[in-house]
Copies of this chain bind each other. A is one copy, B any other.
Amino acid sequence: MSELSVQIEELCRKAKKASRQLAIATTERKNELLGNIAEALDEGRARIAEANEKDVKKGREDGLTSAMLDRLELNAKRIDGMIQAVHEVIALNDPVKEVIKRWTLPNGLEMEKIRVPIGLIGIIFESRPNVTVDASVLCLKTGNGTILRGGKEAIESNRVLAELMQEASEKTGFLRETIVLIPTTDREAIPLLCGMDKYIDLMIPRGGHGLIETVVKNARMPVIKHYHGVCHLYVHEAGDFDMAESILINAKCQRPGVCNAVETLLVDESIAGRFLPRVARALRDEHKVLLLGDAATSLALGETLKEPENWSTEYLDLILAVRVVKGLDEAIRHLEDFGSHHSDTIVTADKEAGERFLNEVDSATVYWNASTRFTDGNQFGFGAEIGISTDKIHARGPMALEELTSYKYIARGSGQIRQ
């Protein structure tokens, strides 16, 4: 075993031990810990700023883009935001110990299925250092230990943030290692962490496709992915044009860089000639959206659009791919063939078409006459989320506190044996 591997295993072992303390802590104790974290962040502003300055300086020297430097920066307002987020998590209900089901077996054994923490959760993420705090407090609230591996660009900031949280943990009477940050930026650390299934119960990668691919390829423990969103708006022949345009502009233009923004517009052929010219005008004139489209779309618009290279691209930009379809069946088939099963919406006044779309489209969230932009833990009323799962196992869609729990069965008996 390499030195790094010994070091990482030791950190995992300690983090696992600390996670058992958290697992049986009361809500009051966990909220006390979160309160102390908020206080530590507030009192640690100078330390955070100093560390962050180092990261930003190095980033500048290394030629990071201004967008990357912006994501890296922890100014006073962003620190306020982190602290505010901790207070919001304190205010959320703790799902741990909730009785999901209670029943009695014919032999009198009293059964309960109750929510419990998952255990130790690994978070592997890139650039934005506030994830260190945002992700950790969600895990702590649900009684889970956290082992973090951040991007090398933010290592100094991440270190200080983790230290402040560890100090708060000790102050509250928990072990320091309820939060552990892998202190090295060695790329080998990721595959090594992915092999620690003896300690880490769940891995959540947050970042680009390359990072997610590395984790999926190497992880021996379960992984919940937050992959891309290739979301669709389908305007059915019975769709109201004003509503469709308003939803499309919201879903495409309000925040084009997020996973619940629409990337592809599907339009029924019977209305394409009337709907597409007006919506193209609105998208281009007011919102500078670049349109790509198939031949039928070009025909409907009376101009030759560039065809999209494929129908599975997440543009994350003011670009919209448009395709004309024969009807509901072809629209659903398009989603099956090219969608990412994240969020899709139909605009129609036809109840039967709407209900068929809701039933048959296999996406985490399916909408009828509403914007895909609502796919978000806060919007759904769940509170802060750790991400939006594109998996179908354990957590699907917005992943909030409840999805950070597992369950166990408890059986209270009086000597029952199996016949």
Contact = CB atoms under 8 A, between A and B. Distances in A.
Given A24-B360, A247-B415, A358-B412, A396 B392 contact: no
A359 B223 CA distance: 26
A415 B246 contact: yes
Contacts of A118: 392-393
Interface string A392-419: 1110110000000011111111111110
Interface string A238-249: 001001001100
A373 interface: yes
Contacts of A224: 393
Contacts of A109: 370, 374
A415 B410 CA distance: 46
B354 A408 contact: no
A9 B417 CA distance: 48
A408 B366 contact: yes
Nearest to A359: B24
Contact of A220 (B20, B103, B116, B216): B216
Nearest to A112: B358
Contact of A374 (B23, B246, B407, B416): B416
A24 B248 CA distance: 28
A365 B202 contact: no
A125 interface: no
Contacts of A359: 24
Contacts of A246: 415, 417
A50 B202 CA distance: 46
Contacts of A93: none
B391 A396 contact: no
A365 B406 contact: no
Contact of A365 (B23, B367, B409): B409
Given A24-B359, A118-B392, A409-B364, A369 B414 contact: yes
B410 A116 contact: no
A80 interface: no
Given A365-B409, A374-B109, A392-B406, A379 B254 contact: no
A77 interface: no
A205 interface: no
A96 to B, nearest CB: 11
Interface class of chain A by DSSP: mixed
A388 to B, nearest CB: 11
A409 B380 contact: yes
A163 B250 CA distance: 51
A119 interface: yes
Given A20-B336, A418-B254, A222 B105 contact: no
Nearest to A369: B413
A381 interface: yes
Contact of A411 (B254, B367, B411): B367
A275 interface: no
A111 interface: yes
Contacts of A52: none
A119 B393 CA distance: 10
A358 B409 CA distance: 9
A297 interface: no
A362 B394 contact: no
Contacts of A393: 118, 201-202, 222, 224, 393-394, 406
Given A118-B392, A201-B393, A243-B415, 7 more contacts: A103-B381, A119-B362, A119-B392, A222-B223, A362-B408, A368-B410, A392-B406
10 contacts: A118-B393, A222-B223, A224-B393, A240-B415, A251-B417, A363-B408, A366-B410, A371-B417, A374-B411, A394-B394
Can you list the 6 inter-chain pairs with the closest CB atoms, starting with the nearest?
A: A370-B413, A250-B417, A373-B418, A394-B394, A222-B393, A392-B406
